[in-house]
Structure formats: structure tokens, C-alpha cells
Structure 1
Amino acid sequence: TLATGAHPSHHGMVGNLWFDRETGVVTYNVEDSRYRLLSAGADVDEDAEIDPTQRAANTEGRSPAAILVSTFSDELRSSNGGRSKAIGVSVKDRGAITLAGHAGTAYWFSKAGSEFVTSNYYLEQYPEWVNAWNLKQLPQRYANTAWELSNDPGSYLFGASDDREWETDVAGFGRVFPHAYGDGTSPYFTTWLTLSPAGDELVLDFARAAVTGEKLGQSGHTDFLAVSFSSTDYVGHVFGPSSLEAEENILRLDRTLAELFRFVDEQVGLEHTLIVLSADHGGPDSPGYLNSLKIPAGYIDPEAWDREAAIERIKNRFGIEGKLIEQYAHPYLYLSSEVTGNSGIDRNALEAAIVNELSKFEGVSLAVSSAALREGDVPDTALYRSVLNNFHSKRSGDIYIVFEPNWFINDFDGLTVAATHGSPWQYDTYVPIVFAGAGLEPKTIDRRVFTTDIAPTLSAYLRIKPPSGAQGNVLREVLD
């Protein structure tokens, strides 16, 4: 959405994962078997990978092919015959690929290979500056060190709350400071780096190498550097937003951003640079923290639901034999091919019956059938509009499930997390949007704006076409 100015209903990326009805398997949104990684041994290590969406990929190949509309970087490069350069950098493959778009070049950190990689969708071989960076083996500088607090614990908001029972100890990384990285030989070493400010620091160092290696900002044409600092996401999942780890991570991220801006100012000049800062999502707090303040919240355990009885009632009513449900890929429930391929079943009535049963389960606020979404047969409220914005007829499931505010599933294929995101509630969509540099005068805007506004605003700023599916508005304050 940041890259396209469009909602998932238009750009097609309805989640990190979705169930592909044609192949019959769950698909990771940037996987593509046609394009191999340029580095051998850089694929996901299934034994050590904790990111369930990356682990679900069926191939090591990666590309932006699943993005169904153009991105800002696509329009920038096509506006001048490809003279502009567009580089995306992130710890996560999906973070770099979506921002680089179809026409840019994406680089991401391979935890298995302990280096930054790309696929042959983008390049046939690495530029020399990439090889030089990887040869430095900078991740190893964290071996035999630890993630420690920058200041005295008493100076932090959560300084007295270092060890919370809902925090996750990932493979021995611990729940209290200092978090030791070990001697660098553990299969989880690079994972631990990404669960801390070290992940963003590696991204920063690689981004600096990209600026100098690609000579960004030196050609007379506008270049685009998109940097996704994703350790904040991992820290939030593992320790929770209101944790000492999250507080320390934000402090360190602030310093990382300051160093990036200092470097760009030195190389290009901030007066020649437009900075945009935002996020792809917000998130709820950990239920344990909210409960301590008497705020209702909790984890949802679908295993505790009386699912079998509900399924039997539906199967008996509609004469269904065999499997009813194929897959749940958040936030969608997918019906089995045995059901969807049976022309004798009234699909609209079946989906309505499932919605009725789901609505009885603890923690479910809303369930909406794809038939209702496809036909627009839903109330015109903010919540339903958010659900519609995510619905893509070819990729979305048969039932969209919305959990109660501050309630969510926290079991990711065996990894229990403190908090997660992916709902239409306000906390998941409340993010900063900051434009700075390039001579902009400081302002604070208190009207409601949207992340879909960023790409159209950048396009208007450069007087180029907006991305093909863009739905947002131009933020006039940036242009005036």
C-alpha cells in the first residue's frame, strides 16, 4: 500500500500469505519459483527460521510479480526511460521487494547466508559494491556481544518491567537485558540480530553502501532509496509494544535514522532530498499489559472452540461429505475444493451459515462472507469499508474474520508471540506520515490522512503519473 497508493483490493497483496486455489497450496506473497536467489545457501533455513510467513514459502525464488498494479518506483523509472534508480533494502524480503516494485532492485538480508541477497528477477550477478559489503562479514561483529540498554534502567518508562511473562524467549535470546548474541556459531545467531537493533544497523550499513555504490543522487535525475527498518516489527511481536525491549529499540532506531540522514546529507545534501517516514501497520499491545490496566484483551485459541459440532451441523444441513474447511490464512477462511467444486451447494447460503456459526465463537467480532463482499451487500460503516478494502476476488478467502479489539491469535505455527497485527481496528492503522527535507517548512497536520496518500503525493511532487491503482489523495501541504 505504501508503494502503490492502493488498497489490497486493487494491488492484490491481501496478506503475507494466501491460499492459492489453482495450486492448492498456501502462497507467500513474494515467492516466485521462476527466479532463483543469486547466492547459494541463502534460502530460508526451516529449522531456524521463526518468521512463519517466510517459512511457508514453497520455493527460494523471489519477485514482485504478485503486485498487480504499478508502484511509485515503477512510475518514476518509466517517466524518464529508466534513468532514475530505485533501490529497496530491508531485513525482510517482502519489505524490500514491495518498495522496489517491478522496475527497481531489491536487496534483503538472508539469515541463512548472513548476507544481503537478491534474485535473478533483478540481476544476473551482484554489483561489486554488494560483493564487497558481503565479504566484510559485518554480522559477525556482533558475535560475543549483547544487546544492552543504552541508559540507566531508571530512565526508561518500562525500566522496572524487563521480565514479563508474556514475552517470548526465542531459542535462548532471553526475556531480560542483556540479550546475548552468542559466539556467532548458533543457527539462531542471525535471527537474534533481527530481533534487536542490530538488524536495523545492518540495513543502515548496507543502505549507505547502496548510496555510494549506485551513486544515488549524483546523476541529475531523481533516484529513490526505500529503506525498511523491520526490527521494530520483530521486537513488537516477540516482546510486545509496551516492553523495555521495544522502548530501547525505538531509542536505537532514532539514532539509526539520524545516522542515515547525516550520511545522505554528506553525500547528497538534505536540501536535495525529500524524506518520507511511515509504517505499513500499527498494532495492538500485549493482552497481559492491557489486562494489568483492566483493559479487556486476550489471546484467541481456535482449538478451544467447539468447531467440530459447528462443522457437523453445517455439513448435515447442506449434505456435505468430506472436508468443509481447507485453510485459515489470516484473516480469511477458505472452503475446501470439494465444497467449492460442488455446483449442487448453494454457496451463498452455505457462507451465511458459516458466518452465523463463527459469530458465536468467543473473540469473534465479525464474520463476513465473500459473497456479501463481492456483491457489496454489507453495511456502509468504517469497519465494513476496511474489510472491503482488503477483499480481492481471486485471492481472498470465503469468509473474512474480524476478532474483537485487542484479541488475536498469538500462535504462529508453534511460535508463541506477545502481540501481532492484521485487523481493521484503529490501533492497526494508526501510523506516522512524515515528509521532511527539500526545503519543507515544519508543520503539524491534524486532519485524518492515509498511507494510500503517500505514493500519489510523491508522484505529484515529481510531476509524474501516479501508480496505476492509486486510490489516495495528494497531500497538498507537501506541495504548497
Structure 2
Amino acid sequence: MKNIFSVSILFCLLLSRCGVQETIENRGYSDPTFDLNPPKLMVGITVDQMRYDYLTKYWKDYSDEGFKKLMREGYSCKNHHFSYAPTYTGPGHASIYTGTTPAYHGIIGNTWYDRYEKTGKYCTGDSTVFGVGNTTLAGQMSPKNMLSSTITDELKLHFNGRSKTIGVSIKDRGAILPAGHLADAAYWFVGGEEGNFISSTYYMNELPAWVKSFNASGYKDSLMASGWNMLKPEKDYDESIIDNNQYEAPFTGKLQPAFPYNFSQLADSNGGYDLIKGSPLGNSIVTEMAINCIKNEALGQDEFTDFLAVSFSSTDYVGHRFAPAARETQDCYLRLDLEIARLLNELNATVGEGNYTIFLTSDHGAVHNPNYLKKLGMPAGYFKLDEVNSRVDSALKNAFNLEGLIESYSNDQLFFNDSLITVHKLNKTRLEEIASHATLGYAGVYTALTRTQLVNTEFSSGVNQVLQNGFSTKFSGDVLIVPRPGWMSYPTTGTSHGSPFTYDTHVPLLFYGSGISPGFTDKRTHIKDIASTVASLLGVQMPNANTGDPILEVLGQ
């Protein structure tokens, strides 16, 4: 009997062992040590103001080697969203790379009111550093206002500084925030009379020789000379409305917002090389700079994974001027598709196919021009800040017989004058309630939440949860105001963003390359999930304030 019992135990142990081994193998691991083979180069691509539907809307006009290649041979998250508001460029880039929301990483806007210093704060502004390659305020930039680590920081820590991490963008915030605190470099473009990529003393004291050479190469002048005309025959732009319409803003010095655009003629009245930033030419110069970076920094050429963060910002400038329905917007994306293809070709030639991994996403979407929507019979309008402020001021004055209780209005948030509240021993919660109620009387307001509500209530869904995820207890305002869907505070031409609604939150997320299983999902994923997915792929620690989860399907798990 004893022998039978022993044999039974042994048999059970063997079955258990086989079960464990099968589980490990089913997860794609060959042994319990989880032997990783990370790519030599990770490339993060952010397309500023890219709505998800730009992938599908212009599908038939894209080449086979750009967006289509990423979607057909990579993994697409079709229901990918920002889980917070405000949806702006600074918070978007920070959230992608920190794996969390503004409530944790502290970048609550592109700019915001600093209630402690009583002044406006820019997300990457840093008066303690100086420009490199530039002596103006444009160079006084660093990531110091971002409170948490990024996936690029964690990669540097993991390999004890032997990885290279570099950011390249038209916008400073598009290069600096993704590159992180430990970056080797971040380069951004200054237009005007210069037309150069610059950096700051946060990273270096002098531009590398290859950057100086690129700035002096004449590439920017060849772009300016080319101007901007439609890439394809006019008949192919049937996804967009007619050219020269009242919903778009023309460049200064041009009477009509219509093709073609002669930049040699428009340069003097539009900031010189700033025209590169505000057109598809900006995407071309960023691609060229990224290619030069890959070659001259020898990215992806050793056993320590490098990270190149590329942000295409010109799509945002074009979107703001022309809005989503414009032919200029469509043309900008058709040209960006070719730049993506050009970057892929360079990666294959220089790093080697199978040695790199890409993700592509956006920092926010955009709403259709409200006047265009109204013309079609849809609910939309313009949110007038002065009218809202007037309502709130009147309500507070009537309630407390005091003026100046509102200290600032920033990013659709009211900031109270705390000193005045203290001196007069006012009930701040009561102020919040009165101000909130006053805003709801304005036709363009969808809802308003108070600081007390956001601090004391845990919202689990809907717009309130999205607002809470973007709310910083330390830095945000006392009343958060949300315009109605389809409404915005902006001039009557072009478009903007910043809301918690799907046109601003729904963006692409594509993964492609080494370690990525082709496919797609319609399940909801969030921007904060990108960093943890990349961390799992690379086998490194997640960013220190990470609140996202790896998207296991992307990794074939």
C-alpha cells in the first residue's frame, strides 16, 4: 500500500510538472527564465492631431509601404483612446511615454496657470538652461516639469546608460517629453529666419557636427522652393470638401485658402521658415533629421536597445488652420504616408528588417469645424470665454459682494484667489458651487466639476472619470468646465482640441516589427497602456508612475 501511495504521489508530481511546462510554453516562452530577444532599436512615432478615422478615410489613397504596411503586417488597436482630458500636445506626449495620466505625471496642459508662482507655466519651459544652436527663449527647454519617469528613462536605467535615447520633432515638447529625463539628446525645429534644429544645455553644450552639417545642408531651402501643391489629381480628393471654403484660414498674404501655395512669395509675411512647420514640409524635414540621427548616432547597432522618439507636428499646424474636412489636411496625410514609408526603408537598410520595432499613435484628435457641422445640421457652436467669465464674476459678486475672486482662467479651468478667500474667511466649497452653477447657465457648457467633487469622489466611468484622470490635486484649477460636444473656444476657421469627447480621444495605435504579432483588436485600449506594452517587449521596468497595462495581444500572449 505504501509503495502504491508513493507511486501515486510521483505520478501527480510528474503531471503537475508537465502542466507547468505546458503553461510556460503556451505563453510563448521556451523556459522559465523567459529568455528575451528585444529589438536593437525601438522607434516611437507620434502624429500630432491624428484622428483614428484618418487611417480609414484616406485608405484608398495611401501607398502600400506606409500606413497600410504597418496595419497589414503589424498590430492595430482600433478602439484606442485617451482616458483623460484636457487632450493637448504636452499631456499627450507625456502620457504616451510615462504610461499614466496628467493626474500623476503633472503635465496638465501645454501651458497652465501656476497658482503658487502666480504666473503661466509652459510644459517644457526651463529658465535654468540655455539654447544650443539658438540664443532665444526657444532654447530654454527641458523635461523638468514632468514629474514621473518615461519608458525611455527606464531603458537608460536598465542598460546602465549604454542605450541611446533621442527625441526629434518640430515642436520642443514633441521631442523633449518623449525623450525623457535621461535622454542623450532632444532636437526641435526653430523657424523664422533660422530654420534650424536646436537643443538646450540640459542635454549638451554644443550641437554635434552632424546636426550642424544638417542645418547647413540647404535641405530646408529646397523644401521652401518646392512650395505646396496637391500630391495627387484633384479627383482623388473626394474624401474632402471643396477647396477654398469659409471653414479654413488662408496663409497671410494669400487671399484664398486654396492650392497651390508658393512659399517663396509667402515667406516674408508668414515667418520665413515657419512655413515649413505649418505645412507637410515639416514632416519631410523631421523624417530627414530622424534618418540622419539613425545613421550618425549609430542607433540599433549594438546589443543595447536604443530608442528614437519621432513626433510629426506639422499635421497639428495644418489641422488647426484648415480643419479635418479640408483637402489640405488630406494631402498632408497622403504625404506623411510617404514619409513613413521612407523611414521604414531607411530602418530596413540601416538597422535591418527584424531588428527594430515601431509604435505609431497620436497625442490627441480634433473636432470638425463647428460652423461646418452647423451647416450640415449637426449640433455645434463656439464657446465664448468672456461670456462665461462674466457670468461667473457676476454670480460671485452677488453672493459675496467682492470682486477679484477669480484669479485666472486656464484650459477651461477657474482658479480662485486663495489669498482673498483667506482674508475674508470665505467658504471655498461654496464658491465652487456658485461658480459651477453659473457656468451651467451658459448654452455652450456641457458640465462643470468642482475641486471638491474631484478630490472627494472616485468616478468610475464617463466624462467625469476622464476629467478626474486629467486632474492634478496640486496644479489644476478649482472648477473644470466642459463645453458641449462639437463646441470649442477658437476662431471660426480651422479647428482645435482638448475635450473629453471621442473626436479628441480616439486615435490610432499601431505596432510593427520585431516581437509584434500581426492582427487587430476592437477592444478598448488606452494611451497609458503603450509604455507598459513596450516595457514588456523590451524586458525593462515600467515607468515609475505607470498606471497602464500591457496589451498582451500585441505581444502574441
After superposition, the C-alpha distances for 1:151-210 in whole angstroms (9 at most, x for unaligned) are 111111256511121211232355100122125555512222111110010101111111
Q: How does 1:130-141 map to 2 (within 5 A)?
A: 130-141=211-222
CA distance in 2, matches of 1:187, 1:245: 17
Distance 1:286 1:309, change over 3 A: closer
CA distance in 1, matches of 2:470, 2:240: 39
2:506 to 417, 425, 430: 430
Which residue of 2 is the match for residue 204 of structure 1? 287
Which residue of 1 is the match for residue 202 of structure 2? 121
Give how far 1:300 is off: 1.7
Which residue of 1 is the match for residue 385 of structure 2? 302
Q: Does 1:399 align with 2:479?
A: yes
Give how far 1:340 is off: 4.6
Give how far 1:75 is off: 0.1
Range moving further from structure 2, 32-41 or 355-364: 32-41
Q: Does 1:192 align with 2:275?
A: yes
Provide the secondary structure at the position in 2 that maps to 1:32.
Answer: coil
C-alpha contact (below 8 Å) 1:331/1:422 kept by paired residues: no
Q: Which structure has more helix as a fraction of its residues?
A: 2
Q: What amino acid is aligned across from residue 21 of structure 1 in structure 2?
A: R
2:170 to 75, 91, 96: 91
C-alpha contact (below 8 Å) 1:142/1:181 kept by paired residues: no
Q: Does 1:101 align with 2:180?
A: yes
Give how far 1:337 is off: 4.5
Q: TM-score, normalised by structure 1?
A: 0.91
CA distance in 2, matches of 1:343, 1:353: 17
Which residue of 1 is the match for residue 462 of structure 2? 382
Q: What amino acid is aligned across from residue 79 of structure 1 in structure 2?
A: H
C-alpha contact (below 8 Å) 1:154/1:160 kept by paired residues: no
Which residue of 2 is the match for residue 49 of structure 1? none
After superposition, the C-alpha distances for 1:323-368 in whole angstroms (9 at most, x for unaligned) are 1222221131212344354360100011111000011112100111
Provide the secondary structure at the position in 2 that maps to 1:449.
Answer: strand
Give how far 1:271 is off: 0.7
CA distance in 2, matches of 1:221, 1:158: 44
Give how far 1:309 is off: 5.5
CA distance in 1, matches of 2:129, 2:258: 41
C-alpha contact (below 8 Å) 1:358/1:364 kept by paired residues: yes
Which residue of 1 is the match for residue 91 of structure 2? none
Unaligned 5+ residue runs, structure 2?
1-94
Give how far 1:87 is off: 0.7
Which residue of 2 is the match for residue 240 of structure 1? 323
1:20 to 96, 111, 114: 114
C-alpha contact (below 8 Å) 1:283/1:421 kept by paired residues: yes
Provide the secondary structure at the position in 2 that maps to 1:421.
Answer: coil
Q: Does 1:449 align with 2:525?
A: yes
CA distance in 2, matches of 1:351, 1:344: 15
Q: How does 1:6-405 map to 2 (within 5 A)?
A: 6-44=100-138, 60-104=139-183, 105-112=185-192, 113-158=194-239, 161-172=242-253, 174-182=256-264, 184-186=267-269, 188-305=271-388, 307-308=389-390, 310-320=392-402, 322-342=403-423, 344-376=425-457, 380-405=460-485
Distance 1:12 1:288, change over 3 A: same
Q: What amino acid is aligned across from residue 107 of structure 1 in structure 2?
A: Y
CA distance in 1, matches of 2:494, 2:391: 30
Q: TM-score, normalised by structure 2?
A: 0.79
Q: Does 1:440 align with 2:523?
A: no
Provide the secondary structure at the position in 1 that maps to 2:519.
Answer: coil
Q: What amino acid is aligned across from residue 448 of structure 1 in structure 2?
A: R
Provide the secondary structure at the position in 1 that maps to 2:200.
Answer: coil
- Alpha-carbon RMSD: 1.8
Provide the secondary structure at the position in 1 that maps to 2:299.
Answer: coil
Provide the secondary structure at the position in 1 that maps to 2:141.
Answer: coil
Give how far 1:298 is off: 1.6
C-alpha contact (below 8 Å) 2:154/2:543 kept by paired residues: yes
Q: What amino acid is aligned across from residue 409 of structure 2 in structure 1?
A: Y
Provide the secondary structure at the position in 2 that maps to 1:242.
Answer: coil
Range moving further from structure 2, 246-255 or 136-145: 136-145
C-alpha contact (below 8 Å) 2:323/2:368 kept by paired residues: yes
Distance 1:170 1:340, change over 3 A: farther
Provide the secondary structure at the position in 1 that maps to 2:512.
Answer: strand
Range moving further from structure 2, 160-169 or 177-186: 177-186
Which residue of 2 is the match for residue 51 of structure 1? none
Larger RCO (CA within 8 A; separation ≥ 6): 2
C-alpha contact (below 8 Å) 1:87/1:225 kept by paired residues: yes
Distance 1:160 1:393, change over 3 A: closer
Provide the secondary structure at the position in 2 that maps to 1:182.
Answer: helix
Unaligned 5+ residue runs, structure 1?
45-59
Distance 1:92 1:310, change over 3 A: closer
CA distance in 2, matches of 1:270, 1:429: 32
Which residue of 1 is the match for residue 62 of structure 2? none
Q: What amino acid is aligned across from residue 201 of structure 1 in structure 2?
A: S
Q: What amino acid is aligned across from residue 434 of structure 1 in structure 2?
A: L
CA distance in 1, matches of 2:103, 2:454: 11
Give how far 1:293 is off: 2.5
Q: What amino acid is aligned across from residue 237 of structure 1 in structure 2?
A: H
C-alpha contact (below 8 Å) 1:324/1:338 kept by paired residues: no
Provide the secondary structure at the position in 1 that maps to 2:273.
Answer: helix
Provide the secondary structure at the position in 1 that maps to 2:528.
Answer: helix
Range moving further from structure 2, 239-248 or 287-296: 287-296
Give how far 1:100 is off: 0.3
After superposition, the C-alpha distances for 1:401-442 in whole angstroms (9 at most, x for unaligned) are 11100100014xxxx651100011111110111111115342
Give how far 1:61 is off: 1.2
CA distance in 2, matches of 1:341, 1:101: 39
Identity of aligned residues (%): 34
